[in-house]
Structure 1
């Protein structure tokens, strides 16, 4: 086990072009797909260090991560596995950052799969002196339930998602950008917090896709959507200055009508989830994003 208190790069010369930080809690089933996709990055991908911050795990997440060490070493990349006793994504990311020595930092959820061109395109976008935020083009993984398929099909066509550099499950910043905040605060929506630390013209969505899973079934969609809304409200309340960077694009009436006509079932499910979120009180329970 690597010491989670190692000090990472704070502004001097970096040892790696990229550090990929993966906070993982009980992810033994998803982590192999995530790490295999990183190993499958094309030749344009920069040499990278991969840091898996396993936190509060009760399964084989640590052993599964460690089993990939030889494969990353064969590629000339480094794999670091942190075995943290306490659970919590934000604390895990803080611990991983202390270890990270990359010129840019990629924050990757353990259930996300990156297409082969993604790391190379992220590194190119972030290789500037000015603060920058980058993400890939989001693609929702094929769902098993018709409800989730319908919801995802409509949601991914909304202006906020299409070309909006949403960063759900994957976002990256260069060191100049990372200097805009200290440790991650204890908040629900880390992706919203990071994205809003950058003005719209500082955010880049590269063409390469990443595949992100969405929860299955109506009740789970409502539960996760409620938590997402609560997370955005929390960021707006605690960090009001960041709201100037939101620029959330609402669809015009004509565009919304077009979406409704082209995907009536998806619109109906999306509206039903929206109404269910508004009708039921939110809870403070921890909710997995899928």
Structure 2
């Protein structure tokens, strides 16, 4: 039997984005010695996410690939990820945000990178599409200078593991930052960033940037509190603030403004999965 690569896409009210995401996945170049199954886990949707995703079965079938759309009544990314794992049949698992656009070679390169009996984690090379708003353009330009963005295999929006890697956690706990949780189960030597890119859009506008940044900070603090042993695999380096300021004073100012507003509004937290668009 041909081995399977499973792509798991949690989607909550992603009708505007899921079509482009699936079109890119299903246009991927052939996978070496593997076939593909795609699982869209709609959760808490009140829009047309399910209907849009279901229409892409016609694009998968001629290639001998599978597409299933599962519908959860409650909006929960963690519940969607766990349901995806329950239904996935592939030893290689690719976890993909519904607004991410993969390049044609990415899934094939991930398949090769994860072809090991040892635990392995892999992701692609992230690209930030040109933002529509001025404030997000400044923030995004500066953010791409930070050590985290330029670190090996950061994995935001898209990460993949093989069977031995997935066995390290098995079931997603109730956490905010699923991507960081998974990445920190692997040492830097066990993580690979392939050259094929993927597009990861950034939240538009100051209020949404603050909302997303607050959730990111909450997620990191939560992981440090609940899983302190994982933090030994965190290889982030400290940013040189003075050098960053000199290189991009406007971007630095916008980034500092977002950071300051997060601190000022940190008590106004909201529960649930928020992408911040």
TM range (shorter): over 0.9
TM-score by length of 1: 0.90
Matched residues in 2 for 1:92 and 1:289: separation? 18
Q: Which SS does the other structure have where 1:188 is aligned?
A: coil
The reply on whether 1:266 has 2:251 as its aligned counterpart is yes
Counterpart position of 2:56: 68
The SS at the match of 2:50 is helix
2:151 is aligned with 1:163: yes
Asked if 2 retains the 8 angstrom alpha-carbon contact of 1:17 and 1:123, the reply is no
Q: CA offsets, 1:6-42, max 9 Å, x none?
A: xxxxxxxx86431000011111110000001012212
Whether 2:80 is the aligned partner of 1:95: answer no
* 8 Å Cα contact 1:15-1:101 kept in structure 2: no
| Counterpart position of 1:6 | none
Among 11, 15, 18, which residue is 1:28 paired with?
15
Deviations 1:73-97 (A, max 9, x none): 1111111111222221111111111
Q: Are 1:111 and 2:99 counterparts?
A: yes
> Which runs of 5 or more structure 1 residues have no equivalent in the other structure?
1-13
- 2:164 corresponds, among 172, 176, 196, to 176
- The TM-score with structure 2 as length reference comes to 0.94
Structure 2 counterpart SS, 1:102: coil
Kindly provide the CA deviation profile for residues 226-266 of structure 1, in whole angstroms up to 9, marking residues without a partner as x: 11100110011111111111121113x4xx44433332211
Question: Take 1:249 and 1:18, find their aligned partners in 2: how far apart are those partners?
Answer: 33
Q: Which runs of 4+ in 1 moved over 6 A?
A: none
When the two structures are aligned, how many residues end up with a matched partner?
274
Does 2:47 match 1:59?
yes
Which runs of 5 or more residues in structure 2 are unaligned?
none
Kept after mapping to 2: 8 A contact 1:15/1:102: no
Cα 1:218–1:161, aligned 2, differ >3 Å: closer, same or farther? Answer: same
> Deviation at 1:119?
0.3
Counterpart of 1:198 in structure 2 is 186
